[in-house]
């Protein structure tokens, strides 16, 4: 199922009025394809987390704009853009994709094919994302190979949340180096953080590593520090939902604690990211990145399967007060390096602009 040709979003074969996605809320218990027939379906898919992960959120927004253009031309496209932009506040790829499509259509002459232009852009965003992930994979592979050569043994990677194929169009960000290492015969093993409250680690990352035959072990979120103290983690690689131009990294809640533990144990802590996740307008991540707060039900309930049927069960008293911050910010000083499609750099403005001089 999850192979080199895998895609997380696509236009339905033989029906250009429908975009298709995987309902990721049901994984790993059920693999269900969902139809998006309107931009409002796309909005719901993003807001209700049928799709998630910064690059896929951006791509879904672009395809939603295609559906809007198809339905009601420029007026509907602008209405859709306004509604989509605030559906997931932390993941900056959403804003990036919407701005890219709006910029593109601005330059169209009267009578031009609006729907065709937006479709071409949505397709390009997806195709480019696959190439970007592969670029991240090739650069990250060198880091894993260095560890493998030095250690002459299994390379233990720890990751948090899902920064895999399912969070992108294919290959993933944090997982791309792992997939390429595995394919190149490097002995690699991944510690997968469960990632409460939505369990993207246990439900998505573990599933997709299994699909590709990569050795992995699921751990509870608080186990990483212990493993690092006992020399069982060679490198941490996570993804990010927004990284500032100075290298501060917003990622799934709990990432900051992993970075602190890595720092205390001299374990290299890398963040893998496409350039589309860099917010060049922001410097100080803690002060400037909006942190999404999600439904308390994600904390009070756990989703799983009983006899193959996906169900939710309560784990707390209904009266328990809950807060549910979905992301945190890891300051650049705790990040060993950023793995991008153009290479690996320091988590700093100088590091990022050395790879992306057009933003200097
Ligand atoms: O809330 P989600 O599932 O959309 O969050 C996704 C993450 O935080 C991932 O860790 C990921 O790194 C960012 S996308 C590659």
Longest dimension (CA), the chain: 65
**For residues 204-226, average pLDDT:** 98
Cα 160 to Cα 262: distance, rounded to the nearest angstrom: 13
DSSP secondary structure string for all residues of 274-289: -GGGEETT---HHHHS
Ligand 1 atom closest to the CA of 273, numbered from 1: 15
The rounded Å distance from CA 167 to ligand 1 centre is: 7
| pTM listed for this prediction | 0.97
pLDDT computed for residue 280 by the predictor: 98
Active-site residue, selected from the candidate residues 193, 241, 248, 328: 241
The rounded Å distance from CA 15 to ligand 1 centre is: 30
> What would be the CATH architecture of the domain defined by 138-359?
3-Layer(aba) Sandwich (3.40)
Ligand 1 atom closest to the CA of 292, numbered from 1: 1
pLDDT computed for residue 1 by the predictor: 78
Q: Where are the domains of the chain?
A: 9-127, 138-359
For the Cβ of 163 lying below 6 angstroms from any atom of ligand 1, the answer is yes
Burial of 84 (0-12, 13-18, 19+ CB in 10 A): buried
Nearest to 59 by CA among 36, 28, 78: 36
pLDDT, tens only, 12-26: 999 999 999 999 999
pLDDT computed for residue 176 by the predictor: 98
pLDDT, tens only, 69-93: 999 999 999 999 999 999 999 999 9
For the Cβ of 167 lying below 6 angstroms from any atom of ligand 1, the answer is yes
Cα 312 to Cα 128: distance, rounded to the nearest angstrom: 37
Question: Is residue 241 among the annotated active site residues?
Answer: yes
The rounded Å distance from CA 32 to ligand 1 centre is: 20
pLDDT, tens only, 248-300: 999 999 999 999 999 999 999 999 999 999 999 999 999 999 999 999 999 99
pLDDT, tens only, 29-74: 999 999 999 999 999 999 999 999 999 999 999 999 999 999 999 9
* Per CATH, domain 9-127 is 2.40.50.140: no
């Amino acid at each position: 199922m999850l192979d080199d040709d895998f895609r997380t979003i696509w236009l339905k074969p033989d029906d250009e009025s429908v975009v298709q996605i995987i309902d990721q809320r049901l994984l790993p218990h059920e693999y269900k394809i969902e139809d998006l027939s309107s931009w409002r379906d796309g909005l719901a898919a993003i807001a209700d987390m049928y799709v998630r992960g910064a690059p896929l959120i951006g791509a879904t927004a672009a395809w939603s704009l295609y559906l809007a253009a198809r339905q009601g031309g420029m007026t509907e496209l602008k209405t859709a853009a306004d509604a989509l932009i605030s559906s997931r506040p932390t993941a900056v790829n959403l804003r990036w994709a919407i701005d890219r499509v709006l910029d593109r259509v601005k330059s169209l002459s009267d009578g031009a094919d609006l729907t065709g232009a937006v479709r071409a852009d949505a397709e390009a965003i997806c195709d480019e994302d696959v190439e970007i992930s592969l670029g991240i994979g090739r650069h990250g592979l060198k880091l894993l190979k260095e560890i493998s050569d030095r250690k002459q043994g299994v390379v233990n990677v720890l990751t948090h949340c899902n920064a895999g194929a399912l969070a992108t169009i294919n290959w993933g960000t944090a997982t791309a180096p792992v997939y390429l290492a595995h394919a190149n015969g490097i002995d690699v093993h991944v510690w997968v953080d469960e990632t409460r409250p939505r369990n993207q680690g246990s439900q998505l990352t573990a599933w997709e590593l299994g699909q590709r035959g990569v050795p992995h072990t699921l751990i509870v979120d608080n186990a990483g520090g212990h493993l690092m103290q006992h020399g069982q983690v060679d490198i941490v690689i996570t993804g990010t939902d927004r990284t500032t131009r100075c290298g501060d990294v917003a990622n799934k809640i709990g990432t900051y604690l992993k970075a602190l533990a890595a720092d205390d144990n001299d374990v290299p802590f890398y963040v893998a990211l496409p350039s589309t996740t860099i917010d060049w307008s922001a410097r100080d991540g803690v002060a400037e990145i909006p942190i999404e707060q999600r439904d308390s039900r994600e904390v009070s309930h756990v989703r799983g399967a009983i006899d193959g049927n996906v169900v939710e069960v309560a784990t707390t008293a209904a009266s328990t007060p809950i807060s549910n911050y979905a992301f945190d910010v890891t300051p650049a000083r705790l990040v060993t390096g950023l793995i991008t499609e153009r290479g690996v750099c320091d988590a700093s403005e100088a590091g990022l602009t050395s790879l992306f001089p057009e933003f200097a």
